[in-house]
Amino acid sequence: MRDLTIADLPHLQRILRSTGAFTEAEVACAMELLAIVLDDPAQIDYRVAVAQTDGDVQGYVLYGPTPLADGNVTLYWIAVCPEAQCRGVGRRLMAQVEEYARQHGGRLVCLETSSQGGYERTRRFYRQAGYVEESRIRDFYSPGDDRITFVKRLDQTPDL
């Protein structure tokens, strides 16, 4: 894991597109957030971790403290190139977010995703990582496309 650099932008844009999960509008939004991180090093809303193996950028996660919420961290974007999926890259990126949350007194990590069929694999990944569906707003993104909020509670002790 490492910090974002300007040289990463074309790689991350390619990754976002190659997953097939994101619309062009979503890719544009993700790229805009990455630009904010690079253009304003003093901003505190967003953090980025880039996963790289043998010189190849394999994915990234964008996250940060949730404004006005005590102990809450929001995971805004996560993407892993198709060639690196199912190889632990996504789990390492999620672990980065959770470690940041713990180091900063975090109680919850929250994320939102779509109910569309193209996101089923992503939702399964979140569940396997210990996230649970906390809420659903029907027709949020568009008719038939719900917003699903997943949460991982960091202050719970695991069942033994």
Query: Does any domain span residue 1?
Result: no
Query: Does any domain span residue 96?
Result: yes
Side-chain-facing half-sphere of 152: CA atoms under 13 Å = 22
pLDDT of residue 160: 41
For residue 69, the tally of other CB atoms under 10 A from its CB is 12
Q: How many residues does the chain have?
A: 160
Query: Does any domain span residue 92?
Result: yes
**Which residues of the chain are under the pLDDT cut of 70?**
84, 86, 156-160
Query: Does any domain span residue 159?
Result: no
- Are 73 and 107 contacting, i.e. CB atoms less than 8 angstroms apart? no
Distance CA 5, CA 110 (A): 25
pLDDT of residue 84: 66
First and final C-alpha spacing in the chain: 31
Which domain, by its residues, includes 46?
Answer: 6-153
pLDDT of residue 129: 94
Local structure of 117: helix, strand or coil = helix
Q: Which CATH number do you get for residue 54?
A: 3.40.630.30
Instruction: State the total domains in the chain.
Output: 1
Query: Does any domain span residue 130?
Result: yes
pLDDT of residue 140: 96
Query: Does any domain span residue 158?
Result: no
How far lies 56's CA from each of 14, 47, 53, 97, 113, in Å? 12, 20, 5, 21, 27
pTM of the model: 0.90
The angle, 0 to 180 degrees and rounded to 10, between the axes of the packed helices 24-39 and 9-18 is: 160
